[in-house]
Amino acid sequence: MRKLMIAGLIAATLAPAMASAQNQDYRDNRRDVRQEQRQYDRQEQRQYDRGARPGVGREDWRDYRGRHPEIYRGARYVGPRGYAYRPVSVGYQFQPSYYDRRYWIDASRYRLPIVGGNERWVRYDRDVVRIDLRSGRVLQVYGGFFY
């Protein structure tokens, strides 16, 4: 009888410990899965931000420009009245005449990342800039884009 009682006590103390270890393994596995999912989501977001939309097969514009230089030799740039070229960087604010509809360029033709909403790719002399149409702020610059 004494042996049965001791065996019962041992079983009663070991069973929760084993269940606790299984629960810990389960929590670790769930944490690992969530961490891998977040890492995958960040990688997808970086690709999306660079313009590599899933299923579109967008190339890097520099490689494409090397193979198709004739596309990047556009007509001479004629800026708005009083235009004088100054290099710009992210955060610079253009006057509305600099990002008028006549300066918009087709992103798919030049293999640029697709933008939407109130953003547009705009030609600024030999450069291409991504503009927020509401504020006129420069969001991205590709200097020396056109020949």
Q: What is the pLDDT of residues 50-94, one digit of tens each?
A: 655 544 444 467 777 777 777 777 677 778 888 888 899 999 999
Task: Say whether pTM exceeds 0.75.
Answer: no
- Which residues does 79 contact at the CB level (< 8 Å), separation at least 6? 85, 98, 124, 125
- In the predicted model, is pLDDT for residue 13 greater than 90? no
Mean pLDDT for the chain overall:
78
Q: Are 125 and 137 in contact (CB under 8 A)?
A: no
Among 118, 65, 129, 67, smallest CA distance to 94 is for 129
pLDDT digits (tens, 9 = 90+) for 32-58: 767 777 776 777 667 666 655 544 444
Residue 3's Cβ-side half-sphere holds a number of Cα atoms within 13 Å equal to: 0
